[in-house]
């Protein structure tokens, strides 16, 4: 997978931010005015308000996004949740996590632990041994740099990790590094070595995090569904609702994770197989069903016959309109997570910070 009305200007801006296309022709606003508004919306605890305001403005301006209160507060809320506005946040127990990942890889390859530890005692490019750096690592940025050095300089690094750095997300918005690398076109600053390194900077993390959060059109009624998509992938909330409708019609229990096909495989996954049981009612072939499901990572999926017919049947079956958006049911998996957390939990936590931000804008 790689997303109550009040008759006030603020409410209208919030509503517009939820459902509109992210890029559109907008009335020109002075940069100073937008930056001042961002500074007003930032939590009181943020120290370098000007720096954060400048980088958030640059992301919106460079990507042609509407700097509405809703959109600005969305970026602010995700950043607050992910890093509490620390561009290089410390992670508790990171040395243990790092060593655990190394030991896991070694065990998988049947390499004795003492062999790995011996290899890591050599000095790294900064003059310190890899062991010393790992024992004292405090942030993901530092850990990513250690793994980069280890993979590029030590044969054992290639053996354990190939060319793939095991740090997959980073920066103040914890954006996927793979996403950033795939969307690097138009990045407005000189790249310091690699896009991976840029993600760990404030400006880069905000740029790519904002793009991941707002850089796609979605017909959501509330921003909370974009917050879920930020965690689970574009259109996961929309696709989870589609899966729920298919499950209702087919009687087949599905994991509402937003993944409509097995990406990277021609084999049919559970959602595709469930849809196939409805093909006589849909009057669609397996091939037509697959073709529609392959549009599941774009807005175009909602225009397919499959989407429209499934919801027409689901609405009729239920005697009323079924949801077109739903928080995905995904358990969060990460060495940093020690509790039973879900995408819904993440979205709700971000939404609480989003509501606080809206209140600061009144």
Higher pLDDT, 197 or 155: 197
**pLDDT value, residue 21:** 45
In the chain, the percentage of residues whose pLDDT exceeds 90 is 68
Return the bridge partners of 342, or none. Answer: 331
- For residues 266 and 258, give the distance between their C-alpha atoms in angstroms, rounded to a whole number: 18
Mean per-residue pLDDT of the chain: 89
Residue 339 has pLDDT above 80, yes or no: no
**pLDDT value, residue 15:** 37
Name which of 38-47, 122-131, 298-307, 350-359 the model is least confident about: 122-131
pLDDT band at residue 295 under the 50/70/90 scheme: very high
Given a contact cutoff of 8 angstroms between Cβ atoms, the answer to whether 227 and 351 are in contact is yes
The count of other CB atoms within 10 Å of the CB of residue 154 is 16
- Tell how many helices (H) and how many strands (E) occur in the chain: 19, 2
In the chain, the percentage of residues whose pLDDT exceeds 70 is 90
Residue 2 has pLDDT above 60, yes or no: no
Residue 160 has pLDDT above 90, yes or no: no
Q: What are the residue ranges spanned by the domains of the chain?
A: 21-88+172-216, 94-164, 225-318
**pLDDT value, residue 167:** 87
Highest mean pLDDT among 47-61, 130-144, 148-162: 47-61
Residue 246 has pLDDT above 90, yes or no: yes
The model carries a pTM of 0.85
Given a contact cutoff of 8 angstroms between Cβ atoms, the answer to whether 78 and 173 are in contact is yes
Name which of 103-107, 195-199, 232-236, 291-295 the model is least confident about: 103-107
Higher pLDDT, 12 or 291: 291
**pLDDT value, residue 142:** 92
| Cβ within 8 Å of residue 3, ≥6 positions away | 216, 218, 220, 225, 226, 228, 229, 230, 234, 235, 236, 237, 238
**pLDDT value, residue 336:** 57
Name which of 26-35, 50-59, 295-304, 327-336 the model is least confident about: 327-336
């Amino acid at each position: 997978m790689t997303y109550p009305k009040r008759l006030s200007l603020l409410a209208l801006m919030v509503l517009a931010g939820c459902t509109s296309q992210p890029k559109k022709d907008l009335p020109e606003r002075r940069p100073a005015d937008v930056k001042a508004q961002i500074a007003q919306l930032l939590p009181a605890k943020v120290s370098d308000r000007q720096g954060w305001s400048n980088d958030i403005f640059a992301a919106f301006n460079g990507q042609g996004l509407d700097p509405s209160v809703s959109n600005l507060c969305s970026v602010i809320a995700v950043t607050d949740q992910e890093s509490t506005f620390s561009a290089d946040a410390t992670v508790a127990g990171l040395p243990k996590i790092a060593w655990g990942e190394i030991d896991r890889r070694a065990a998988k390859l049947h390499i004795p632990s003492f062999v790995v530890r011996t290899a890591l005692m050599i000095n790294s490019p900064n003059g310190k041994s890899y062991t010393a750096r790992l024992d004292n690592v405090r942030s993901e940025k530092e850990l990513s740099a250690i793994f980069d050095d280890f993979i590029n300089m030590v044969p054992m690094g290639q053996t354990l990790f190939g060319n793939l750095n095991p740090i997959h997300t980073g920066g103040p918005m914890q954006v996927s590094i793979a996403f950033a690398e795939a969307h690097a076109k138009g990045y407005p600053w000189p790249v310091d070595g690699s896009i991976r390194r840029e993600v760990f900077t404030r400006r880069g993390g905000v740029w790519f995090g904002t793009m991941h959060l707002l850089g796609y059109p979605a017909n959501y009624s509330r921003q909370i569904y974009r917050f879920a998509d930020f965690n689970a992938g574009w259109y996961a909330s929309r696709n989870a609702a589609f899966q729920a409708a298919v499950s209702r019609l087919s009687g087949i229990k599905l994991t509402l994770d937003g993944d409509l096909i097995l990406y990277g495989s021609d084999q049919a996954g559970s959602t595709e197989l469930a849809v196939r049981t409805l093909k006589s009612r849909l009057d669609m072939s397996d091939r037509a069903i697959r073709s529609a499901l392959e549009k599941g990572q774009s807005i175009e999926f909602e225009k397919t016959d499959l989407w429209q017919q499934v919801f027409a049947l689901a609405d009729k079956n239920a005697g009323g309109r079924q949801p077109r958006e739903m928080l995905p049911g995904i358990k969060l998996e990460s060495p940093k997570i020690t509790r039973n957390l879900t995408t819904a939990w993440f979205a709700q936590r971000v939404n609480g910070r989003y509501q606080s931000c809206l209140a600061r804008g009144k």
